[in-house]
């Protein structure tokens, strides 16, 4: 695939040698382990650049998009979910709660491509509020190119996250400790912020931290559409070019990020709940 349909025997042999496919199976495994240990995944078929350098170059761009988008989404969705549970009870609050649920479900049924194309066209092209595409390597200058992708990411994440956090908070408000707090005279606001939110942190941490690896690579479409030279854009280009060495390196990096997320989850458990001990 890399050499084309009309590749010569010499070209095919060279590619097999580069990938280690000309060796016995056990030696291929040893070759792969050496690549992992040295973090040397060879060179890209498409650009002939060192893959490790390409990944290191893409990390700052991806983090400048994903970190603020992730934090804004987390704060906004938890706040809305808490507010919905807080208002639930009176007729007006119940109407608001059900209306938001319907809107969230409807929003989740729309493809992410629709959001990207519509908001890019309407806010970027029609109104001219934001650049449609482009990138500035300077940390200060790049933010004008990041506002619209971050906004789109937040909009894409609102529906599912609000429903998830609302479900967690709804489970908590029917627990015995909430009834005990009410019997002691605590107001609804104090119960929600001091007790419900704190006890809901364990499931929130679980789903939030596990999302991190998929978050970094999951901005693939946003980076591709907006020309952001991050890890998502790198993976998008590699898939389009059948750049197998880059794809292999990105899959390995995803696995490492996932294991790191699991470790971080356990550490945060112990910090949030003293009853959880690390061993």
How far is 271 from 276, CA to CA, in rounded Å? 8
Compute the average pLDDT of residues 242-246. Answer: 82
Q: What is the tens place of the pLDDT at every residue in 76-111?
A: 888 888 888 777 766 666 777 788 788 888 888 888
The domain ranges of the chain are: 1-38, 39-272
Residue 279 above 70 pLDDT? Answer: no
Q: How do residues 3-49 score in pLDDT, each as one tens digit?
A: 555 567 777 777 777 766 777 777 777 877 887 787 777 778 778 88
Global pTM reads 0.76
d(CA 140, CA 256): 30
Instruction: Kindly tell me if the per-residue pLDDT of 231 is higher than 60.
Output: yes
> What's the CA gap between 204 and 40, in Å, rounded?
36
Q: So what's the pLDDT on residue 274?
A: 62
> How confident is residue 2, by pLDDT bands cut at 50, 70 and 90?
low
List the structure tokens of 230. 């991050």
CA nearest to 219, candidates 264, 227, 164, 57 = 227
pLDDT at 273: 64
> Which residues, at least 6 apart from 136, have a Cβ–Cβ distance to it below 8 Å?
142, 144, 145
Provide, rounded to the nearest whole percent, the portion of the chain with pLDDT above 90: 0
Q: How many residues does the chain have?
A: 279
Highest CATH level, class, for 39-272: mainly alpha
């Amino acid at each position: 695939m890399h050499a084309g349909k009309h590749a010569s025997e010499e070209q095919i042999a060279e590619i097999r040698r580069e990938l280690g496919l000309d060796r016995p199976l056990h030696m291929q495994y040893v070759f792969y382990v050496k690549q992992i240990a040295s973090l040397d995944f060879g060179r890209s078929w498409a650009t002939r650049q060192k893959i490790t350098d390409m990944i290191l170059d893409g990390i700052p761009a991806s983090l400048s998009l994903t970190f603020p988008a992730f934090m804004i989404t987390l704060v906004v969705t938890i706040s809305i979910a808490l507010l919905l549970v807080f208002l639930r009870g009176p007729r007006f609050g119940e109407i608001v709660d059900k209306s938001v649920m319907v809107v969230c479900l409807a929003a989740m049924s729309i493809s992410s491509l629709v959001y990207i194309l519509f908001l890019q066209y309407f806010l970027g092209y029609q109104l001219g509020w934001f650049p449609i595409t482009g990138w500035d390597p300077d940390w200060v200058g790049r933010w004008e190119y990041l506002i619209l992708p971050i906004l789109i990411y937040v909009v894409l994440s609102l529906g599912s996250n609000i429903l998830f956090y609302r479900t967690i908070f709804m489970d908590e408000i029917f627990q015995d400790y909430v009834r005990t707090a009410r019997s002691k005279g605590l107001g609804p606001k104090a119960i929600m912020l001091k007790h419900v939110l704190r006890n809901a942190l364990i499931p929130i941490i679980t789903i939030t931290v596990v999302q991190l690896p998929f978050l970094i690579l999951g901005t693939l479409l946003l980076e591709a559409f907006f020309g952001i030279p991050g890890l998502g854009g790198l993976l998008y280009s590699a898939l389009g070019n059948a750049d197998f060495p880059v794809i292999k390196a990105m899959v390995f990096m995803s696995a490492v990020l996932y294991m790191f997320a699991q470790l971080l989850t356990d550490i945060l458990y112990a910090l949030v709940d003293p009853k959880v001990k690390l061993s």
